[in-house]
Amino acid sequence: MNEQTKPTYPPGAWVFVSHSHKDLPEVTKVRNDLESQGFKPLLFFLKCLEDDAAELPGLLCREIKARRFFVLCESENSRSSVWVQKEVEIVRSLGRTYEVVNLDKEEHQSQEIIKRLARRSKVFVSSSHSDSEIASRIALRLRQEEYEVFDADSIPSGSSWADEIHSGISKAAKEGFVLLLLSKRAAESKWVATDLQEALALKGPVVPVMIEDVHIVFRSLPDHLRFMLQGLQFFNFTGRPFDVAMNEMLSMLRKRFIE
């Protein structure tokens, strides 16, 4: 891909912040903490609709359905707000990725809570060059779901490949997770092995994804890679249409346990 055609991907996901407008000073701190983690927070106070409440539920539902990541600011004010409770109900019913910040606590530690959200939204995609087509499709879909993705396509032209890969894995290991696409070619790739070794050395979360028949992949894995992959939860991408498998994987990623 040359410099003229190489796509650019803006970092950071939009985050819908559900809150009561009566908590604005506390919510402002949450907004600042989100921005410090590279997120783009969305805070709404729909004053213009106060006299037309009938329109509000539909507007809220459409806006929430368009988002993937949420922070639910809980407080006495939010619990007494019909509209905030409606937002929370919609978010939870859709199975979106969210974290809850309790504003009633003196130290609600929004920074740590938002770091957990960040670890659900930043991803390094490791793959063999031979699997670039499916890797690019998976990365594109992740970006469409507002994940911050680092992969081969995101390396700036003229940059040191090794340095950029190291930087991407380090960031994903500390602030997100590594998606390891496994095929026969990947099993035989020293670069994929290096990615895995580096991620595990940094104690980063690794999600192995089978993009080729499991038996073929395991027969091709060197013993040391098979040992490193022990105990990790695999996702099998094979044997189903791309969109079906992708939707299942996104659902799995949203439900991942984050320390």
State pLDDT tens for residues 188-240: 998 888 888 888 888 888 999 999 998 899 888 888 888 888 888 889 999 89
Q: How far is CA 154 from the centre of its chain?
A: 16
- Residue 73, in any domain of the structure: yes
The pLDDT > 70 percentage for the chain reads 88
Same domain, yes or no, for 230 and 191? Answer: yes
Same domain, yes or no, for 104 and 131? Answer: no
Give 238: exposed, middle or buried? Use CB within 10 Å, 0-12, 13-18, 19+.
Answer: middle
- Residue 105, in any domain of the structure: yes
Amino acid 103 reads L
pTM of the entire predicted model: 0.75
Token readout for 138 is: 């998976």
Give the total number of structural domains in the chain: 2
Same domain, yes or no, for 184 and 58? Answer: no
Same domain, yes or no, for 37 and 86? Answer: yes
* CATH number, residue 24: 3.40.50.10140
Same domain, yes or no, for 155 and 130? Answer: yes
Final residue belonging to a domain, choices 117, 144, 159: 117
Final residue belonging to a domain, choices 68, 98, 117: 117
Final residue belonging to a domain, choices 117, 152, 168: 117
Same domain, yes or no, for 123 and 92? Answer: no
* pLDDT, position 101: 93
pLDDT band for position 181 (50/70/90)? very high
Same domain, yes or no, for 156 and 242? Answer: yes
Same domain, yes or no, for 178 and 236? Answer: yes
Average pLDDT over residues 72-97: 90
Mean model confidence pLDDT for the chain: 84
CB 87 within 8 Å of CB 64: yes
- Residue 61, in any domain of the structure: yes
* pLDDT, position 3: 43
Same domain, yes or no, for 130 and 221? Answer: yes
- Residue 7, in any domain of the structure: no
Res. 7: pLDDT tops 50: no
- Residue 1, in any domain of the structure: no
- d(C-alpha 40, C-alpha 45), whole Å: 17
pLDDT band for position 12 (50/70/90)? low
Pick the more confident residue, 240 or 121: 240
Same domain, yes or no, for 108 and 233? Answer: no
Q: Hey, how many other C-beta atoms are within 10 angstroms of the C-beta on 83?
A: 18
Amino acid 35 reads E
Same domain, yes or no, for 251 and 129? Answer: yes
- Residue 19, in any domain of the structure: yes
Model confidence pLDDT, tens digit, residues 27-49: 999 999 898 888 889 887 655 54
**Can you give the residue range of the structural domain that contains 44?**
14-117
- Residue 3, in any domain of the structure: no
Model confidence pLDDT, tens digit, residues 101-112: 999 886 667 888
* pLDDT, position 50: 53
Res. 141: pLDDT tops 60: yes
* pLDDT, position 133: 93
- Residue 90, in any domain of the structure: yes
Same domain, yes or no, for 132 and 251? Answer: yes
CA-CA-CA-CA torsion sign (102, 106, 111, 112): negative
